[in-house]
A and B are shown apart, each in its own frame.
Chain A
């Protein structure tokens, strides 16, 4: 019989993080990946966070294929042809140990996978897992589409990404509702490195991220982003699937409009779109996180809806959950017992970590914003109107301007109601 200690389904960052920790500890681990190679099916804009990766491989930046260390993060509240912007630039971030990096997941995951193989993990590509094999209420293995395709293990870790068919088959969650996932689409625009550095005002090799709100997604709930890579600019947007389907706009039109926006277009002018991606992002937040542990099974990464949409963090949560699941396995391995109780330290550890704490912090925010379109289509534009009022020198006294600004902000929907809506959102994020 094909028996391993652990089978991991999915060689994304979550699965690879778990595989790396397990292989390093000498555990017999096999990873099943449906793509041609790890990374070949992965889509990410992608900002990769240094801290969580370093908890796995110290000083990985010396070796890993990275694009640019991010030295500046900008935020744009967009109007039709106006923007209120803010941001933070820190040249400390251009030096080790860095803060975060842009990466191409295709290259990065392939590199990460090679590290796992060096550590002793076995990675089987082009192999689709269809379901967990369950015996007497315990997950004991995985069934694949290949001939003789059953594989057995003490524990199966599901890291099969946002759709997680396997967890669904186990009854851990239902098919996600359109309000629990965002559809993200993005393009890579090829531009010379020097052009990128001039347009984004950074020194050689440094990178910038811009998060765009408001008109960038036509007032729908979601964000758009522009990230600099070495010789590409990633541009994309994500909106809740529920709102996108109501709006009747195709995702491609949305991206096209973003690219043609008069404030965005100069950044990417003359570049050639070389790659186009579309992918779902879990956005259900805290309330959507399914059961994480069962008898002989754990769920990590996007498969467990571990994405913090408000801070566009996903890869780091995936890595941390992979590491914590692996550590929980190691304890169970010593005891030789793999039932739900023995694996539950994973659920405890993740609840006590930033992963669940952050999701909990915003647990109602997404829902409040989704239910009330005013946040995206009234208050965000009002910020631009306010800024315009404040900065236009037109001979009107400042005091009356301040009054106008307040009116712009709160006047649209009634003072009392606006105040309440803003307090409500503020409270949901505290």
Chain B
């Protein structure tokens, strides 16, 4: 079982300030941390490794400073850490970021096939939740979002719980696949001192654009068609209720509910 976890360095949301005039995040003042969802993803990967054996690799795209979060994952128990870092990556939007990460993961796969890719549900700074599905599409892996629990992994199939607005659903999916995870997926551990020392000594594997053989027109500002018009919090959806039972009962209830509305 080889699990790759995508990790992003983000400004500590607890300490970030919002520029009152431009409404953008002032990233300079806040310390950089491992995206909290990604931290839970790494911990979940370690738990799967403990149960089924195998190996956990982490990968991040970002500046050299992102080595810090890779080393943190090593202290948590990851076996290998890759940093994709190159001037030509700067300014990438979610489209380009997904492309670059995919190329990195493909490079890892050349030496060591991958069974499972984990991403956080979203990055707490960008908040788009697009990168995970973007990678899955490019790797041609099925994707399951909002995963809150891994129920089982057996005979090439993974069964997970996906968090819904009010409840969860249980889904099964063939491996390899990609999951984006909620924080409930794992409890964070506390690294031992020998693990901290191993991490401090660890040499992060750093790859530039040439090594992952990526197309430079698909990255950086040139490869990033997104433009931000406005940032706002969407209104919460109201109503809706989960229906329980087998397919037959559920469809029955559904039809009668619809009929009720129509009459």
A interface, CB within 8 angstroms of B: 2, 30, 36-37, 40, 122-124, 126-127, 144, 146-151, 274-275
- Report the minimum CB–CB distance from A117 to chain B (whole Å): 8
Given contacts A37-B31, A122-B200, A124-B200, contact A274 B17 (CB under 8 A): yes
Given contacts A146-B190, A146-B191, A147-B190, contact A124 B196 (CB under 8 A): yes
* Interface flag for B197 (CB, 8 Å): yes
Cβ contact within 8 Å between A124 and B197: yes
Contact of B194 among A2, A122, A126, A274 (CB under 8 A): A2
Cβ contact within 8 Å between A148 and B201: no
Q: Return chain A residues, CB-CB under 8 Å to B201.
A: 122
Cα distance A36–B11 in the bound complex, in angstroms? 13
Given contacts A40-B31, A122-B201, A146-B190, contact A127 B17 (CB under 8 A): no
Interface residues of B in 21-44 (CB under 8 A from A): 29, 31, 33
- Report the minimum CB–CB distance from A233 to chain B (whole Å): 16
Cβ contact within 8 Å between B33 and A146: no
- Report the minimum CB–CB distance from B36 to chain A (whole Å): 14
Given contacts A37-B68, A146-B190, contact A127 B29 (CB under 8 A): no
* Interface flag for B193 (CB, 8 Å): yes
Cβ contact within 8 Å between B193 and A149: yes
| Minimal Cβ-Cβ distance residue in B for A146 | B193
| Minimal Cβ-Cβ distance residue in B for A127 | B196
- Report the minimum CB–CB distance from A189 to chain B (whole Å): 13
List 26 A-B pairs, Cβ < 8 Å.
A2-B194, A30-B197, A36-B31, A37-B31, A40-B31, A122-B197, A122-B200, A122-B201, A123-B200, A124-B196, A126-B196, A127-B193, A127-B196, A144-B193, A146-B191, A146-B192, A146-B193, A146-B196, A147-B190, A147-B191, A147-B193, A148-B192, A148-B193, A148-B194, A151-B193, A274-B17
Interface residues of B in 92-120 (CB under 8 A from A): none
Q: Return chain B residues, CB-CB under 8 Å to A40.
A: 31
- Report the minimum CB–CB distance from A365 to chain B (whole Å): 38
Q: Supply 17 further A-B pairs (C-beta < 8 A) apart from A36-B31, A147-B191.
A: A2-B194, A2-B197, A37-B68, A40-B31, A122-B197, A124-B196, A124-B197, A126-B196, A127-B193, A146-B193, A146-B196, A147-B192, A147-B193, A148-B192, A148-B193, A148-B194, A149-B193
Encoded as 1 (CB less than 8 Å from any A CB) or 0, chain B from 179 to 199 comes to 000000000001111101100
Cα distance A150–B193 in the bound complex, in angstroms? 8
Q: Return chain A residues, CB-CB under 8 Å to B192.
A: 146-149
Cα distance A318–B66 in the bound complex, in angstroms? 30
Cα distance A275–B29 in the bound complex, in angstroms? 9
| Minimal Cβ-Cβ distance residue in B for A151 | B193
- Report the minimum CB–CB distance from B149 to chain A (whole Å): 26
B interface, CB within 8 angstroms of A: 17, 29, 31, 33, 68, 190-194, 196-197, 200-201
- Report the minimum CB–CB distance from B20 to chain A (whole Å): 9
Cα distance A150–B31 in the bound complex, in angstroms? 29
- Smallest CB-CB A-B distances: 7 pairs: A147-B192, A146-B193, A148-B192, A149-B193, A124-B196, A122-B200, A148-B193
- Report the minimum CB–CB distance from A230 to chain B (whole Å): 12
Q: Return chain B residues, CB-CB under 8 Å to A122.
A: 197, 200-201
- Report the minimum CB–CB distance from B21 to chain A (whole Å): 11
Q: Return chain A residues, CB-CB under 8 Å to B200.
A: 122-124
Q: Return chain B residues, CB-CB under 8 Å to A30.
A: 197
Q: Return chain B residues, CB-CB under 8 Å to A123.
A: 200
Cα distance A36–B14 in the bound complex, in angstroms? 14
Q: Return chain A residues, CB-CB under 8 Å to B29.
A: 274-275
| Minimal Cβ-Cβ distance residue in A for B12 | A36
Cα distance A113–B260 in the bound complex, in angstroms? 69
Cβ contact within 8 Å between A2 and B193: yes
- Report the minimum CB–CB distance from A423 to chain B (whole Å): 50
Cα distance A190–B48 in the bound complex, in angstroms? 48
- Report the minimum CB–CB distance from A5 to chain B (whole Å): 14
- Report the minimum CB–CB distance from A340 to chain B (whole Å): 27
Q: Return chain A residues, CB-CB under 8 Å to B68.
A: 37
Cα distance A30–B68 in the bound complex, in angstroms? 17
Cα distance A124–B198 in the bound complex, in angstroms? 10
Q: Return chain A residues, CB-CB under 8 Å to B33.
A: 36
| Minimal Cβ-Cβ distance residue in B for A150 | B193
Cα distance A87–B134 in the bound complex, in angstroms? 62
- Report the minimum CB–CB distance from A127 to chain B (whole Å): 6
- Report the minimum CB–CB distance from A370 to chain B (whole Å): 37
Q: Return chain A residues, CB-CB under 8 Å to B190.
A: 146-147
Cα distance A424–B191 in the bound complex, in angstroms? 57
Q: Return chain A residues, CB-CB under 8 Å to B197.
A: 2, 30, 122, 124
Q: Return chain B residues, CB-CB under 8 Å to A149.
A: 192-193
Cα distance A148–B194 in the bound complex, in angstroms? 7
Q: Return chain B residues, CB-CB under 8 Å to A126.
A: 196
Q: Return chain B residues, CB-CB under 8 Å to A150.
A: 193
Cα distance A126–B193 in the bound complex, in angstroms? 10
| Minimal Cβ-Cβ distance residue in A for B201 | A122
Cα distance A59–B197 in the bound complex, in angstroms? 31
Cα distance A203–B59 in the bound complex, in angstroms? 46
Q: Return chain A residues, CB-CB under 8 Å to B191.
A: 146-147
Cα distance A180–B201 in the bound complex, in angstroms? 40
- Report the minimum CB–CB distance from A426 to chain B (whole Å): 45
Q: Return chain A residues, CB-CB under 8 Å to B17.
A: 274
Cα distance A124–B17 in the bound complex, in angstroms? 28
Cα distance A151–B192 in the bound complex, in angstroms? 12
Cα distance A147–B196 in the bound complex, in angstroms? 10
Most A CB contacts (10 A, CB to CB) among B33, B190, B194, B196 go to B196
- Report the minimum CB–CB distance from A248 to chain B (whole Å): 31
Cα distance A343–B37 in the bound complex, in angstroms? 48
- Report the minimum CB–CB distance from A185 to chain B (whole Å): 18
